[in-house]
């Protein structure tokens, strides 16, 4: 049971930039209607690559971009997504201009990466100025957001691959829960569609090669899945102590109830067949929420559309939920948005909150042929109207890192 002295944490603002919509409303509409954001890559020439498609963000209106040249020079593509999503989340929350900025912090899941490294190296143009050095530093977005919005509480940058966004949220949750902050802007951002990532993940055999029909390439839990789809985007949330939110009359999307992180202690790039680390992450998060498995009404799966990951996660869900596993609705939004990696967990937690709020479970699209070893309810192809009180979001990453968050409807 949760100690009585721990603070309750709610979500009062959300923002997202995704391949199926760069606003929350557009993203949700795309998810509910099963719209794929996967198509042939346009930003770079991929004609010589084994995989020629991805999930790109294509609908950013020019008027949404920052007008300051210095800021544009500082933010690379992934951080620009994060900046926009964070601004939307803060505006949505009404937390702008806080009375105690020292009690408001920032926690960002991301990483440092130079997609143009090889071309710049060949041109002898690396690090010619301060902006170029900062642009590819992992801490730059958290620092820029704290500076712009005068948030002088805890500032954190977390880089744990596919779990970065979820862990950034989990740590932010703990900061508020244990009284170290009143509110935290938290989430993740990423943009993986570049030659280095296409090459690296391609060599690992992790990417789908369904070049003849990109929109059907991401097919979590389907028997004929052949790999995941690279994506890009950002998800940001404002987490806030319950009474702090109530005192200012904030809208509450839901309550963050539990968080857990584990390690597979297995192979760096493989999921264990017994799902041990994922099972422990789910079990511990549910325990942390002071709930039982029977309370969970929806699981947003990590569901990458890779052969091994989907089977391992299915085994883990069965271990955690027992006989009830086949009655819990599960879906993978990666079927529509691709794998947003550092941003994925944050976007998917927003989906869980919207699911609770709207009473609609988004589908797993491209689910045509069941895999006998993936035999749970993956909400195939069509959204489902169903009330959900508590939802669970899974993120599992390279290196054997697992993180799970449990959210619920905010009760009195």
Q: How far apart are CA 184 and CA 86, in angstroms?
A: 11
Q: How far apart are CA 405 and CA 235, in angstroms?
A: 15
Q: Are strands 232-241 and 39-40 parallel, antiparallel or unpaired?
A: unpaired
280 phi, psi to nearest 5 deg: -65, -35
Contact (Cβ atoms closer than 8 angstroms) between residue 77 and residue 138: no
Looking at 161-264, list the stretches that DSSP marks H as alpha helix, in order from N- to C-terminal side.
164-177, 195-203, 242-247
DSSP helix/strand/coil, 16: strand
Q: Are strands 9-17 and 254-263 parallel, antiparallel or unpaired?
A: antiparallel
CA 250 to chain centre: 24
Active-site positions read: 162, 302, 339
Half-sphere exposure of 345 (CA within 13 A, CB side): 35
**Separation of first and last alpha carbons in the chain:** 18
For every residue of 270-282, DSSP letters joined together read: ---TT-HHHHHHH
Residue 139, exposed/middle/buried by CB under 10 A (0-12, 13-18, 19+)?
A: middle
CA distances from 110 to 22, 161, 163, 258 (A): 18, 8, 10, 22
Helix or strand run (H / E) with residue 313: helix 307-321
Compute the residue count for the chain. 412
Closest CA to 17 of 69, 73, 61, 76: 61
CA 42 to chain centre: 23
For every residue of 225-254, DSSP letters joined together read: ---B-BBEEEEEEEEEEHHHHHHTT----E
């Amino acid at each position: 049971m949760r100690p009585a002295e721990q603070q309750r944490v709610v979500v009062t603002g959300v923002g997202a930039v995704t391949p199926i919509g760069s606003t929350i409303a557009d993203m949700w509409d795309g998810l509910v209607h099963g719209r794929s954001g996967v198509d042939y890559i346009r930003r770079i020439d991929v004609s010589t690559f084994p995989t020629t498609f991805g999930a790109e963000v294509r609908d950013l209106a020019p008027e949404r971009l920052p007008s300051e040249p210095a800021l544009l020079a500082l933010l690379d593509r992934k951080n620009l997504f994060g900046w926009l999503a964070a601004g939307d989340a803060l505006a949505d929350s009404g937390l702008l201009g806080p009375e105690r900025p020292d009690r408001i912090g920032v926690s960002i899941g991301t990483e440092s990466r130079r997609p143009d490294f090889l071309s710049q190296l060949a041109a002898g143009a690396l690090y010619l100025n301060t902006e170029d050095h900062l642009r590819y530093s992992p801490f730059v977005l958290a620092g820029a957001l704290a500076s712009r919005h005068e948030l002088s509480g805890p500032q954190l940058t977390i880089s744990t691959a596919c779990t970065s966004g979820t862990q950034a949220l989990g740590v932010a949750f703990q900061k508020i829960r244990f009284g170290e902050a009143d509110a935290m802007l938290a989430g993740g951002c990423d943009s993986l569609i570049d030659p280095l990532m296409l090459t690296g993940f391609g060599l690992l055999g992790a990417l789908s090669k369904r070049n003849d029909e990109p929109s059907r390439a991401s097919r979590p839990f389907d028997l004929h899945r052949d790999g995941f789809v690279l994506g890009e985007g950002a998800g940001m949330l404002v987490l806030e102590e319950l009474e702090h939110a109530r005192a200012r009359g904030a809208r509450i999307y839901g309550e963050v109830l539990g968080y857990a992180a584990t390690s597979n202690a297995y192979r760096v790039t493989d999921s264990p067949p017994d799902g041990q680390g994922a099972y422990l992450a789910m079990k511990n998060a549910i325990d942390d929420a002071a709930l039982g498995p029977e309370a969970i009404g929806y699981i947003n799966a990590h569901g990458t559309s890779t052969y091994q990951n989907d089977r391992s996660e299915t085994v883990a869900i069965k271990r955690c939920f027992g006989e009830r596993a086949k009655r819990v609705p599960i879906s993978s939004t990666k079927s529509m948005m691709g794998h947003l990696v550092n941003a994925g967990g944050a976007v998917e937690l927003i989906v869980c909150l919207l699911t609770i709020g709207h009473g609609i479970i988004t589908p797993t699209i491209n689910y045509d042929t069941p895999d006998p070893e993936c035999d749970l309810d993956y909400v195939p192809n069509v959204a489902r109207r169903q009330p959900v009180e508590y939802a669970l979001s899974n993120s599992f990453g390279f290196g054997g890192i697992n993180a799970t968050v449990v959210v619920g409807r905010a009760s009195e």
